[in-house]
């Protein structure tokens, strides 16, 4: 038990009031608990470790405080520190046993009325190392505090081990000073102006970001969660750095822009509220205090239709800069006045967040569990010890941190009440893939909402026949399947050609070439619901690029340009979902733009590419399915269609097909029209 002599009673900060209220409602919840594990290369001396921790708790009032409800919630600071410390002789433990131990320790709730809200565990690690664990309740710390505590620990430990403890400077300012400043700020004209700003910014109807759930949300949240760690691919990292250098945006603006685009993609919502933390220490004297000074800005991001990443990043940069000017006003003071549906199933009026972690005192990543770098802190060699997480404050939160290996570490923290780990793994892949595409093509429209992968696949359950081309009646050979090839080369007849149309429609030449091919299929089949395969990019797990599925709707006799935009959107959706072919469907046609021929078992592979004002390509086909004359006719008609749409791009589909059919009528066919 603590010594019950207390030296100070102070009110709670606005952030602490939120934490305490949550504790009263959910006293056993680990929602506001955190633990951080640090691996020391050399074995820490147990007695010196205890003296060091005792000194830290003595220096900072917040670490020797309890929180009780009298007339109102108050913080009591006790005169003497009492450590919650345990040393475990664990040299024979493997990593699995160590993680099980810390998971069990983490599950033990704090009791705010009794105190010791900062606990430490020291484990002997293998032959000569140590693992030191800091476990906190958020009511007495934030991320800044973690970095300060680790730095103080290594500094004081070294002073004690060398006998130079007389050099330790006293801690002048305390968390109580911050609480006093906050109360004065709220009552000031500056605080009132900030209040007005946030009421206007968050005015009107607010809707939470609703990520597509795998499971029904429980009536009472359990706050169970997980985190899926990943490291940005080298290509994505390099593109992000290049984007940062070119546009001069802070990297957190770029991360947040990519995450917002991702949320827009998976939810279909264009009015997003994303929590973004700021360290919230407005005065220099607060830079050395421990305690929850961090503020969570509810950034409201409205994404106009057909926005590009370039436009979104500009908007977010301006919004973040503006909102940061008013970051010191506690949002909790106006939440009761906001227009949003209050629901006990949710912890807050915003359910998504983005956190850009940076240690204040360490030039290294120390927050995320996938950080594997080693750093030096006051001449002690330290690294983070990886461990998972089974609590989440949000439905979905992107956390990023840059380590000293020049990697970008990241994690999707998620609410496991509603989301499965498998879904998060897919979202990680989707986020990286779509982010890379957006960075490379930041002027293109952010792809519209594509729904959940399950919804996407359900939309493919009623596919039309994928045997699109009329097949020649050729008996299947009993011999092995034989492929033949027809090659072609066409000179672009117009100076601007396809490239000009691509600029006019703000589309890729790929989408235009594929659209023309779909028009040809429509002419051959008179079917308005068409599906075919197209080649995606390289799949690292495959020896050849994978083929994806595209489904186009030609009903209503659309303009060619409108069909091009539809195809471009469908291409992006297929890439996003990596949509392959649902059984028992098997594609007959494969369309791709590539110089190289990749192995394929598909009946009809149409390959095309541009170079030097020429269009080159080849059709590889099963000779026991198609006659060579049929394939040559397809080549000729495709060339005609390219000429037609290049010459007159403002045509409707049926008009184009009518011209095509009349062009290839024989004399006998023409005479039959007048019989």
pLDDT at 374: 85
Quick one: pLDDT at residue 646? 85
pLDDT of 172 strictly over 90: yes
> How many angstroms separate the CA atoms of 581 and 575, rounded?
13
Q: Which of 284-288, 311-315, 609-613 has the lowest mean pLDDT?
A: 609-613
DSSP 8-state assignment for residue 503: H
What is the reported pLDDT for 54?
94
Give the mean model confidence (pLDDT) for residues 295-314: 93
- How would you label 271-291 residue by residue, b for 16+ Cβ within 10 Å and e otherwise? ebbbbbbbbbbeeeebebbbb
pLDDT band at 672 (very low <50, low <70, confident <90, very high): very low
Residue 129 has pLDDT above 90, yes or no: yes
| pLDDT in the model for residue 281 | 92
Residue 583 scores a pLDDT above 80: no
Name the residue with higher pLDDT: 567 or 612: 567
At 324 the pLDDT is: 94
pLDDT at 540: 44
pLDDT at 346: 82
| In the predicted structure, residue 20 carries a pLDDT above the cut 70 | yes
Residues 450-488: tens digit of each pLDDT: 555 455 455 555 666 656 666 655 555 545 567 888 888
Arithmetic mean of pLDDT, 144-150: 94
**CB–CB of 631/486 below 8 Å?**
yes
Mean per-residue pLDDT over the chain, rounded: 85
**Band (348; pLDDT cuts 50, 70, 90):** confident
Rg (the chain; Cα; Å)? 32
Give the 3-state DSSP-derived string for 408-445, with helices as H, strands as E and coil as C.
Answer: EEEEEEEECCCCCHHHHHHHHHHHHHHHHHHHHCCCCE
Q: Report which secondary-structure segment, H or E, holds 484.
A: strand 483-491
Q: How confident is the model at residue 130 (pLDDT cuts 50, 70, 90)?
A: very high
Rounded Cα gap, residues 263 and 536, in angstroms: 23
Compare 646 and 2 and report the one with higher pLDDT: 646
- Which of 38-72 are b and which e, b meaning 16 or more Cβ less than 10 Å from the residue's Cβ? bbbeeebeeeebebbbbbbbebbbbbbbbbeeeee
Of the candidates 463, 435, 465, which has an alpha carbon nearest to the alpha carbon of residue 447?
A: 435
| pLDDT in the model for residue 466 | 56
Q: What is the pTM of this model?
A: 0.69
Supply the DSSP symbol for 326. T
If DSSP codes are grouped into helix, strand and coil, which group holds residue 298? Answer: strand
**What burial class does residue 461 get, using C-beta atoms within 10 Å of its C-beta: 0-12 exposed, 13-18 middle, 19+ buried?**
exposed
Q: What is the pLDDT of residue 402?
A: 82
pLDDT at 119: 93
Q: Which residues contact 411 (CB under 8 A, 6 or more apart)?
A: 227, 228, 229, 230, 368, 369, 370, 398, 399
Average pLDDT over residues 51-78: 93
The H or E element containing residue 35 is strand 33-40
How much is the pLDDT for 545?
Answer: 64
pLDDT at residue number 180: 96
Cα–Cα distance for residue pair 217/263, rounded to 1 Å: 19
Average confidence (pLDDT) over 390-400: 92
Residue 83 has pLDDT above 50, yes or no: yes
Q: In the prediction, which pLDDT does 543 show?
A: 53
Please indicate whether residue 365 or residue 52 has the higher confidence score (pLDDT). Answer: 52
329-342 confidence digits (pLDDT tens): 999 898 878 877 77
Q: What is the pLDDT of residues 503-521, one digit of tens each?
A: 888 788 888 999 999 998 8
pLDDT tens digits for 591-628? 888 877 777 778 888 888 877 778 888 888 888 888 88
Tokens of 100: 């099980």
- Percentage of residues in the chain with pLDDT exceeding 90? 42
pLDDT value at 40 more than 50: yes
């Amino acid at each position: 038990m603590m010594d019950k002599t207390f030296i100070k009673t102070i009110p709670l900060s606005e952030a602490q009031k939120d934490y305490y209220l949550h504790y009263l409602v959910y006293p056993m919840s680990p929602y506001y608990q955190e633990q951080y594990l640090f691996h020391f290369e050399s074995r820490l001396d147990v007695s010196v470790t205890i003296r060091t921790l005792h000194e830290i708790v003595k220096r900072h009032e917040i670490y020797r405080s309890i929180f009780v409800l009298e007339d109102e919630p108050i913080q009591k600071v006790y005169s003497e520190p009492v450590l919650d410390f345990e040393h475990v002789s664990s040299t024979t433990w493997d990593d699995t046993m160590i993680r099980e131990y810390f998971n069990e320790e983490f599950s033990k709730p704090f009791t705010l009325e009794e105190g010791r809200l900062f606990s430490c565990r020291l484990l002997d690690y293998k032959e000569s190392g140590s693992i030191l664990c800091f476990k906190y309740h958020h009511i007495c710390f934030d991320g800044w505090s973690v970095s300060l505590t680790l730095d103080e620990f290594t500094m004081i430990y070294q002073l004690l081990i060398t006998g130079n403890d007389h050099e330790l400077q006293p801690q002048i300012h305390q968390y109580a000073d911050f609480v006093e400043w906050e109360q004065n700020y709220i009552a000031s004209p500056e605080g009132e102006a900030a209040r007005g700003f946030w009421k206007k910014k968050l005015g009107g109807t607010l809707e939470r970001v609703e990520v597509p759930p795998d499971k029904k949300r429980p009536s009472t949240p359990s706050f169970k969660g997980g985190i899926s760690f990943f490291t940005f691919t080298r290509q994505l990292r390099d593109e992000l750095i290049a984007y940062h250098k070119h546009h001069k945006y802070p990297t957190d603006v770029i991360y947040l822009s990519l995450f917002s685009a991702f949320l827009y993609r998976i939810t279909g919502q264009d009015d997003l509220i994303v929590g973004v933390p700021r360290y919230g220490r407005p005065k220099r004297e607060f830079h050395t205090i421990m305690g929850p000074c961090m503020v969570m800005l509810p950034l409201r991001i409205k994404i106009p239709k057909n926005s590009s990443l370039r436009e979104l990043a500009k908007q977010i940069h301006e919004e973040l800069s503006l909102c940061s000017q008013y970051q010191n006003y506690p949002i909790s003071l106006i939440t009761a006045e906001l227009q949003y549906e209050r629901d006990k199933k949710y912890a807050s009026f915003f359910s998504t967040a983005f956190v850009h972690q940076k240690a204040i005192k360490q030039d290294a990543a120390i927050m995320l569990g996938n950080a594997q770098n080693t750093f030096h802190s006051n001449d002690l060699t330290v690294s983070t010890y990886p461990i998972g997480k089974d609590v989440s404050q949000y439905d979905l939160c992107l956390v990023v941190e840059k380590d000293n290996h020049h990697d970008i570490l990241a994690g999707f923290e998620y609410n496991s009440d509603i989301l499965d780990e498998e879904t998060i793994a897919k979202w990680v892949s989707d986020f990286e893939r779509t982010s890379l595409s957006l960075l490379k093509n930041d002027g293109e429209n952010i792809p519209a909402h594509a729904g959940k992968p399950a919804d996407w696949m359900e939309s493919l359950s009623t596919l039309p026949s994928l045997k699109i081309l009329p097949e020649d009646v050729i008996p299947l050979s009993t011999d092995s399947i034989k492929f033949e090839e027809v090659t072609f080369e066409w000179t672009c007849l117009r100076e601007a050609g396809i490239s000009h149309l691509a600029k006019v429609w703000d589309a890729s030449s790929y989408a235009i070439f594929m659209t023309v091919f779909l028009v040809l299929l429509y002419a051959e089949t008179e079917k308005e619901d068409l599906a075919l395969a197209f080649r995606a990019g390289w799949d690292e797990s495959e020896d050849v690029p994978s083929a994806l599925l595209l489904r186009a709707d030609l009903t209503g006799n659309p303009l060619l340009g409108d069909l091009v935009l539809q195809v471009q959107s469908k291409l992006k959706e297929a890439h996003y979902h990596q949509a392959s072919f649902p059984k028992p469907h098997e594609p007959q046609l494969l369309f791709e733009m590539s110089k190289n021929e990749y192995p394929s078992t598909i009946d009809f592979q149409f390959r095309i590419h541009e170079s030097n004002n020429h269009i080159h390509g080849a059709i590889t086909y099963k000779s026991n399915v198609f006659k060579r004359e049929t394939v040559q006719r397809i080549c000729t008609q495709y060339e005609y269609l390219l000429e037609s749409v290049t010459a007159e791009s403002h045509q409707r589909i049926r008009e184009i097909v009518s011209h095509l059919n009349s062009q290839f009528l024989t004399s006998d066919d023409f005479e039959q029209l007048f019989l």
